Each structure stands twice: as C-alpha cells, then as structure tokens.
C-alpha cells in the first residue's frame, strides 16, 4: 500500500482519527518532521522505533496524516519521545487529542507515569503539557541541538493515579 493510500484509511471527517503508525506512513511522517523541527529525526531513527516496547500513533484528519507521536515504554514509565503536528495544521486541537490518546493508552497499559522533554523555547508545547497535567521536574542542559549551539530541555512528568 502506498503512503497516500494508507492516509486514505483515516477518517474523512474533521474529527481526528487516531491509529497505530505504520512503516508505510514514514514518507508523510518525514515530511511533517522536516517542516516541524530545525533538527529532524532521520528515517533510520523512526524505523528503529518499530519495536515491541514502543507505541507509535498517527493522527489523521480529512484523510491525511497530520500528526504523530512516538512513545517508549520502559518498565512502568512511558517516555514521550516525539509528538509533532504538521505546522500547516497546528492550533486545531490535533496535538491535544493525540496527547490525550497516548496518555489514555499508557494508563490502560499500567504505566506509572509519562515523561517528556520539551525545548525551553517551545512555549506552545510547554503550555499544552501544563494544561494536560504535566509538571516540570527538572532541566537537561544542552539537550537539544540548536541553530547556535545547544538548547536546554524542560523535563516534565505526569503521574497516573492508581
């Protein structure tokens, strides 16, 4: 199945349809990644995430992949490694819905908490994570590559009640 055919499996309504990300989605994922980040992941990095202890999610709207998330499960923690919304489709709720879905799934799979890192300069993502219950628990100095050197990351956590 070609990537464009794969995208057509998504809902044709304005509602975000969330499904497992497939290897066939990688051309669309790589395009969104390239548009969304100054230092995008490579295809090899994404391919390496298709493992049993990872959860990869696709968010589709109007029959097209508009967002994705990559989560690693380590012991009883879910680590959100990448959540990206196509910049041409941002501020329409896709990121929030995808985040809520992956959190729901992590809880269903008995994870204790979800962790993530976010660039200190990414205020929109930081506000989203705060609004969804994440708390800043630390910083990672020089964690992200940046145009001029490196940029710090906020480390955030959301603990699930048991």
Annotated binding site for acetyl-CoA: 122
Degrees, nearest 5: CA angle 131-26-70? 30
129 catalytic? Reply is: yes
- Per DSSP (E only), the strands in the chain are 17-20, 54-61, 64-74, 77-85, 113-119, 135-146, 149-159
132 catalytic? Reply is: no
> Of the listed 77, 105, 117, 132, which one is catalytic?
117
Query: Is the separation of the CB atoms in 92 and 51 below 8 Å?
Result: no
> Of the listed 73, 129, 144, 151, which one is catalytic?
129
The catalytic residues are: 117, 129
């Amino acid at each position: 199945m070609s990537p464009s055919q794969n995208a057509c499996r998504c809902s044709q309504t304005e509602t975000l349809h969330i499904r497992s990300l497939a290897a066939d989605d990688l051309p669309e994922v790589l395009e969104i990644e390239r548009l969304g980040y100054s230092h995008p992941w490579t295809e090899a990095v994404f391919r390496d995430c298709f493992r049993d202890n990872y959860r990869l999610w696709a968010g589709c709207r109007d029959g097209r992949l508009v967002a994705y998330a990559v989560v690693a499960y380590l012991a009883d923690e879910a680590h959100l490694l990448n959540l990206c919304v196509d910049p041409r489709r941002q501020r329409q709720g896709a990121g929030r819905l995808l985040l809520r879905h992956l959190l729901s799934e992590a809880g269903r799979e008995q994870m204790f908490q979800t962790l993530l890192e976010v660039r200190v300069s990414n205020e929109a993502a930081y506000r989203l994570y705060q609004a969804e219950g994440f708390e800043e628990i630390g910083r990672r100095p020089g964690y992200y590559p940046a145009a001029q050197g490196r940029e710090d990351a906020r480390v955030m956590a959301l603990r699930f009640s048991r």
